[in-house]
């Protein structure tokens, strides 16, 4: 293992650490039926287990991001991986749902401490010409981690049980903590010289929240994540109503989550070749609106609708790829990148918290899923407006930078 890790660039280890964190998000949904039998888990408690990580993101995103900036990005990442590993290993010993619930909260904190400092770490570890590609690769972490857990989880749970599933993913996080300790240089905790004095915790939050850039990328992320999770989250219910078997439903849902990665990677290639990030955002939102309209407004459950949902997820992947790039570029300064990503994560969680209930409310009122596109369409229009504001803001910043660099200024 020591020989292998020496060959892996440290930035790739950081990205794999993020994927391992996302595995903990995706490990629970396929385990809920097993837990219902193993410890008499009721549906309400199962819902709390699912939302506990989301709750941490809704309430603590910018706080944890600013904490990561303050204590050091590498230290925060290591702490998060250890919390994830310990929470999962102890969870395998849980005998009551309440124990799992509290340990899920620990995992939620660990998840934030991994994913919030990671983009800033990647920026410090790679040359500028590789940054767009690496950040696009980073944006795959959620789709790859959750999709892999949804795909592998049911098979593992059926063969080995839920405790071994918790042990496996806990051990993986601790293994990644060791790899980060060995391969990511300690100097990554020291912010590059910026000409600015070292900022306090409160100053970082103030600088983040008093600038339009972090607000715009955060709200745009919420308008994307809210509709994506609303569609993907209700697919098992929709396909169950259509009469598909559990095994096929699991594969179809995992495929929809995994194809999101394709959009993330395409975004990275486009950014690397000079395509404007706002262009990618606009293309992604237009595709989301059209695919949702075709998939739910025009088609009934079947393979045609499944193809439309696949395109919905794949094209939507352009959006996080572009937003992580913009978040790094539009942070107030080098010392506030994790704070900006934390604010973006907080709004992403808000979107994921609000989106599914909105779709469920509309579906219950109209008696079916055929007006799902109305909810996602409204979010798409909001996303296009936010994209236009982002384009205007970034153009103003670039103009100001050009004036400052001008010899006559």
Domains of the chain (ranges; CATH) run: 1-189 (1.20.1250.20), 199-409 (1.20.1250.20)
pLDDT for residue 3: 43
DSSP string, 112-131: HHHHTTHHHHHHHHS-GGGH
pTM of the full structure: 0.79
- Contact between 230 and 222 under an 8 Å Cβ cutoff? The reply is no
Q: Is the pLDDT of residue 190 over 90?
A: no
pLDDT for residue 169: 97
Average pLDDT, the chain: 85
For 266: left if phi > 0, alpha if psi spans -120 to 50, otherwise beta; the answer is alpha
DSSP for residue 192: P
Q: Is the pLDDT of residue 409 over 70?
A: no
Encoded tokens for 263: 């959009």
pLDDT for residue 5: 55
pLDDT range class, residue 250, cuts 50, 70, 90: confident
Express each pLDDT in 87-114 by its tens digit.
999 999 988 888 888 898 899 899 999 9
- Show Cβ contacts of residue 30 under 8 Å, excluding neighbours closer than 6 positions: 149, 150, 153, 154, 157, 250
pLDDT range class, residue 266, cuts 50, 70, 90: very high
Q: What share of the chain is helix, strand, coil (3-state, %, to 5)?
A: 85, 0, 15
pLDDT range class, residue 2, cuts 50, 70, 90: very low
Between 89 and 327, the higher pLDDT residue: 89
């Amino acid at each position: 293992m020591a020989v292998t890790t020496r060959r892996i660039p440290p930035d790739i280890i950081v990205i794999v650490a993020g994927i391992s964190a996302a595995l903990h998000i995706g490990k629970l949904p396929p385990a809920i039926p097993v837990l219902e039998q193993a410890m008499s888990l009721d549906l309400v408690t199962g819902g709390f287990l699912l939302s506990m990580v989301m709750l941490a993101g809704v309430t603590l995103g910018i706080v944890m991001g600013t904490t990561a900036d303050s204590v050091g990005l590498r230290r925060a990442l290591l702490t998060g991986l250890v919390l994830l590993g310990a929470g999962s290993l102890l969870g395998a010993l849980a005998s009551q749902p309440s124990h799992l619930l509290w340990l899920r909260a620990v995992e939620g904190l660990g998840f934030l401490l991994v994913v919030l400092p990671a983009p800033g770490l990647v920026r410090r570890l790679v040359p500028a010409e590789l940054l767009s590609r690496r950040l696009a690769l980073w944006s795959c972490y959620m789709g790859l981690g959750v999709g892999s857990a949804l795909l592998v989880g049911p098979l593992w749970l059926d063969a080995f049980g839920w405790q071994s599933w918790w042990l496996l993913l806990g051990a993986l996080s601790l293994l990644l903590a060791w790899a980060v300790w060995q391969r990511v240089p300690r100097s990554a905790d020291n912010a590059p010289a910026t000409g600015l004095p070292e900022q306090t915790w409160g100053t970082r939050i103030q600088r983040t929240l008093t600038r339009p850039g972090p607000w715009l990328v955060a709200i745009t992320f919420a308008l994307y994540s809210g509709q994506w999770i609303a569609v993907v989250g209700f697919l098992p219910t929709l396909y169950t109503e259509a009469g598909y078997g559990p095994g096929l439903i699991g594969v179809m849902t995992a495929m929809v989550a995994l194809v999101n990665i394709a959009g993330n990677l395409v975004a990275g290639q486009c950014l690397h070749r000079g395509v404007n990030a706002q262009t990618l955002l606009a293309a992604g939102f237009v595709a989301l609106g059209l695919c949702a309209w075709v998939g739910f407004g025009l088609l009934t459950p079947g393979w045609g609708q499944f193809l439309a949902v696949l395109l919905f997820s794949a094209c939507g992947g352009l959006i996080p790829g572009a937003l992580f790039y913009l978040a790094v570029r539009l942070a107030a300064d080098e010392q506030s990148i994790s704070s900006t990503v934390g604010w973006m994560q907080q709004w992403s969680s808000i979107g994921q918290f609000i989106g599914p209930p909105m779709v469920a409310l509309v579906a219950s009122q109209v008696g079916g899923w055929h007006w799902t596109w109305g909810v996602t369409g409204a979010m798409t229009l909001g996303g296009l407006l936010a994209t236009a504001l982002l384009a205007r803001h970034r153009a103003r910043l670039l103009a100001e930078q050009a004036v400052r660099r001008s010899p006559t200024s």
